[in-house]
Structure 1
Amino acid sequence: MKQNNKQGFFLTLLFIVLIYLFTRSYYSPFFWILLGLLLCLAFLKEENRLFAWVILSFFGGNMILVYLDKFIQGIHVQPYLRVIIYQLLFIIPILSICYVIKQFNKEISLFLEKPRLPKNIQLPFVVNRTYFYSLTIVLVAVVFTLMAITTDVKMNIYLFLSLFVFALIHAFLHEVIWRGILLSQIIKITNETYAILFTSIAFAFNTTFFGFSFAIFLLYFVTGMLFSLITIVYKSILPAILAHTLMLILFFLNGLLQLPI
């Protein structure tokens, strides 16, 4: 393994550790590691130095987000509106990371393009694209129908629109961060396989911010891998955004997601 690769793997693992410490409020070791990373910037090669700055800007943006959220909690607004505002604050780490990448004169790859649809879908066996998408639509329709029948949630137009708006905003901004920016950056310093694995672990730690069970962590890890695979196969985050949105709606209907609506 080349030295550049070793540095890339180390930085990616360090990012996962920092995600864990930050989301679990272990702030003392978190800030010491950030300080050490800052002092080591001069010894890193350019691609790795860029990712180190991406790490710093990611957490810098998230710290601003946390403080702004505390400020918003002191303002008298409807609980649902407060949730939406908090989701929109994720624009801050996106902008901070994009600013860093631009300072290195690098192209920002958000995968915000029309999906490139292969003629055949390569699974353990080859499936025709038309049959695959038809089957997927039928399965999604069946799942939603069963959930609608068995759930205790009394769905109406207001509830559905409120849920859909939240799910779409959350899915869009998080997919831009995790699959649009971080996945592409980690691919550059490791490879596709490890990038999918590492971003999925970090995504699961970050999403289970409030200390869900290990089973929920595994669920987010698996879905993170699925979203990453979809993004790489189609060269676009749009299918992952759709899948993420549907997942959040299912979580709400299943009681895994609570919203003040």
Structure 2
Amino acid sequence: MKETLLFPSSAERNITSLILFGTLIIVLQLNNYLLMTVWGIGVGLILIDKSMRFFIVITLTFGIGFFLYGYVNSQWIADMSPEEMRIILNRLSLIVLIIPLICISLIYRLPSMSYWQKPQWGELVRIPFIWSGFRQVKVSKFLAMAMLINLIAIMPFIVNNSWIYIQEIWGFLLLFSTLNSVLEEIIWRGILLSRFSECFGNRWAVLITSIGFGLQHYSLGFSWVSCLLFSVGGFYFGAITVHSKSIIPAIIWHMLFNALMILSGMLVD
């Protein structure tokens, strides 16, 4: 019997996957059971297409982990004080999201991450969009330039804070920026980027994980507009991971950005 294909072209399949993954993250954060039901019906129909089943399994596994992460935070962490402790525990609870993703990789006998290795710093990328631009530079130079641009852009907000404030938050800054960047990169540019690259190729995997990475910031108190801006950052983190064949450049870049947000008062005020 011939297998039914709902999406005969790869473009249709890729766009559907992007929409499906993005809407899952939105629905889970809105806690709307009607939307969850509609999403579930859509997934049930898409499972008819054999080429989509592995993606659906990964997406459902992520959804389960994200639901558990949300439950842990709403029931056990939300009312904790001081605020700095609540934020650290919130980031540490990302482990709850990572465990199901590792388990599904083991079930399929796949390496959890394809990008946990020494970066290829000499690999060439293009300015400004990594895959396209007017000039080629090495990954190491691109990363240094990007981090410098972040520093210059956020510096005006940092200088508005007192030196006393900066002295008070150094410990929190180091702990948060390390914990958050490592765990988020393991999820988005480590496990999910690896799995989605196997399904759709590198560029679509970067796009799907970037949208998801941005949208999940809504649960952290950011607006949807801010979430879209985080998606842009997620694109660059993903693209530099693919080109360097390592999540280490993204972790370094992510750590700096987190540190700058704290120093500017955007994260903790």
Taking structure 2 as the reference length, what is the TM-score of the superposition?
0.79
Give the aligned length.
Answer: 256
Q: Which of 11, 19, 22 matches 2:17? A: 11
CA gap of 1:139–1:57, structure 2 versus 1, over 3 A, is closer
Query: Could you tell me whether the CA contact under 8 Å between 2:193 and 2:206 is conserved in 1?
Result: yes
> How big is the shift at 1:126?
3.1
Query: Could you tell me whether the CA contact under 8 Å between 1:147 and 1:250 is conserved in 2?
Result: no
Partner of 2:86: 82
Query: Could you tell me whether the CA contact under 8 Å between 1:20 and 1:205 is conserved in 2?
Result: yes
CA gap of 1:219–1:55, structure 2 versus 1, over 3 A, is same
1:94-243 matches, within 5 Å, as: 94-118=98-122, 121-123=125-127, 124-127=134-137, 148-152=158-162, 154-209=164-219, 210-212=221-223, 214=225, 216-243=226-253
C-alpha distance after superposition, 1:101-130 (max 9, x if no partner): 221222322522111111655432234677
Amino acid at match of 1:185: R
Work out whether 1:245 is the aligned partner of 2:250: no
> How big is the shift at 1:231?
0.6
Query: Could you tell me whether the CA contact under 8 Å between 2:158 and 2:263 is conserved in 1?
Result: yes
Amino acid at match of 1:3: P
Q: Which has the higher contact order (CA 8 A, sep 6+)?
A: 1
Alpha-carbon distance in structure 1 between the residues aligned to 2:207 and 2:142: 25
Query: Could you tell me whether the CA contact under 8 Å between 1:171 and 1:245 is conserved in 2?
Result: yes
Query: Could you tell me whether the CA contact under 8 Å between 2:65 and 2:97 is conserved in 1?
Result: yes
SS of equivalent residue, structure 2 residue 122: coil
Query: Could you tell me whether the CA contact under 8 Å between 1:9 and 1:189 is conserved in 2?
Result: no
Taking structure 1 as the reference length, what is the TM-score of the superposition?
0.81
Amino acid at match of 1:212: S
C-alpha distance after superposition, 1:128-163 (max 9, x if no partner): 677667666766776676654343463455511211
Query: Could you tell me whether the CA contact under 8 Å between 1:54 and 1:97 is conserved in 2?
Result: yes
Partner of 2:53: 49
C-alpha distance after superposition, 1:189-215 (max 9, x if no partner): 22322222222222211113335152x
Query: Could you tell me whether the CA contact under 8 Å between 1:153 and 1:253 is conserved in 2?
Result: no
Structure 1's unaligned 5+ residue stretches are none
Query: Could you tell me whether the CA contact under 8 Å between 2:28 and 2:67 is conserved in 1?
Result: no
C-alpha distance after superposition, 1:238-259 (max 9, x if no partner): 1111111111222223332126
Identity %: 24
Alpha-carbon distance in structure 2 between the residues aligned to 1:212 and 1:153: 29
The RMSD of aligned alpha carbons is: 3.2
